[in-house]
Amino acid sequence: MRSHFIHPGAALLLAPLLAFLGLAYGIPFLGVVKWSFTLPELGLGQYGTLLTDPLVQSVFVRTFRICALVTLASVTAAYVIAYVWVRGTTGQRLAAEYCILVPFWISVLTRAFGWVALLSNQGLINTWLRAIGILDEPLMLVRNEFGVIVGMAHFLIPFAVFPIASAMRNLDERVLLAARGMGGGRARIFWSVFVPMTMPGIIGAALIVFVFALGFFVTPSILGGGRSVMVAELVYLRIFQSPDWGLGAAISITLVVIVGLLSTALYRYLRPAQMVG
C-alpha cells in the first residue's frame, strides 16, 4: 500500500522552499483576501458587486469563451504534433521536437509583437493578400478576439503536447494489433480505438491549457488592443488605474478559486510525471 507520509529527510529539504513560498505568495495572498472583505468597507459587498455588475460578468463570460476556443485550438494542434512526435519517422520526430522546443526559447512579449507584425492591417499577411489581388481592404486579424486566440494558442500548444504524447506512449499496442486483426481500417482504428485510449491525455492537456489561459495578461493586452479585456487585465485596471482595490481583490480571489478547482480536477486525470512525457 502506498504511503502518504512524507519522509522526515524530504520534509527538511522541502522546508526552505515552503518557507519561501509562504513569504513570497502566502502572506501577499492573505493581504489580497483581506482587501476583498474590507475595502472600501467591511463585508461581502465586493462579491455582491461581482455577481451583479454587468461589466464584470461580461468580462468573465468573454474570458471563458476565449479560453475554451484557445483550449480547442491548442489541443487539436497539439494532438497532431504529439502523434507525429510519437509515431512518425525519425525526420518527422525531429521536426516535431523543434516545433515543441523552439517556442520555449522565445519570450511571451516577443511572440505577441511578432503576431502584431504578421496580423496587423499593414502586416505581412494583409500586405501579401492585397499584393496578389485577393483582398481590396485589409482583414481585421488583430486588436480583436481572433488575434488574442491566435497568440494564446501559439504559446500554449507546447504545454498540451506533453500529456497527450505521454498517453500515446503508454497505450497498449496489442489492442491496436487486435483491432487490425479484426479487420478494422486505419481511420476506424484511429477514431474508435486510438483516440479513446488517449482520452486521459486529451483531458489533462485541455485542463492545463484552460488553467494557464485564465491568467493570461500580456498577450490579450497587446493583441486585443483593449477591445478584448480578460479577467487578469480587468484586475490590473481595477488595482492600478482606478481606486477600486476591493473589487479587484474580489475578482482575483474568485479567479484563484476557479483555478484551484480546475487544478484539483487536473490532478485527478494527470500525475506530474505525465506532464513531461
Q: What digits encode the pLDDT tens for the residues 24-55?
A: 888 888 999 999 898 888 888 889 888 899 99
Element (H, E) at 248: helix 245-269
Query: Cell numbers at residue 228, please?
Result: 478584448
Portion of the chain with pLDDT greater than 90, in percent: 34
Check pLDDT > 80 for residue 250: yes
| Nearest C-alpha neighbor of 156 from the set 148, 166, 168 | 148
- 105, amino acid identity: W
pLDDT of residue 181: 87
pLDDT of residue 121: 86
Query: Cell numbers at residue 124, please?
Result: 505581412
**Do the beta carbons of residue 181 and residue 101 sit within 8 Å?**
no
- Cβ atoms < 10 Å from Cβ of 84: 17
pLDDT of residue 165: 93
Which position has the grid cell 510525471?
273
Q: What digits encode the pLDDT tens for the residues 70-110?
A: 999 999 999 999 999 999 999 999 998 888 888 888 888 88
pTM: 0.86
Work out the average pLDDT over 201-230: 88
Check pLDDT > 80 for residue 276: no
123 compared with 271, residue with greater pLDDT: 123
| Nearest C-alpha neighbor of 169 from the set 85, 101, 91, 228 | 85
Work out the average pLDDT over 179-188: 87
Alpha helices in 22-123 (DSSP H): 27-38, 45-52, 54-87, 90-101, 108-119
Check pLDDT > 90 for residue 149: yes
pLDDT of residue 150: 93
Query: Cell numbers at residue 220, please?
Result: 490579450
pLDDT of residue 272: 56
Q: What confidence category does residue 3 fall into, taking pLDDT thresholds of 50, 70 and 90?
A: low
Work out the average pLDDT over 144-156: 92
Q: What confidence category does residue 6 fall into, taking pLDDT thresholds of 50, 70 and 90?
A: low
Pairwise CA distance, residues 270 & 154, whole Å: 23
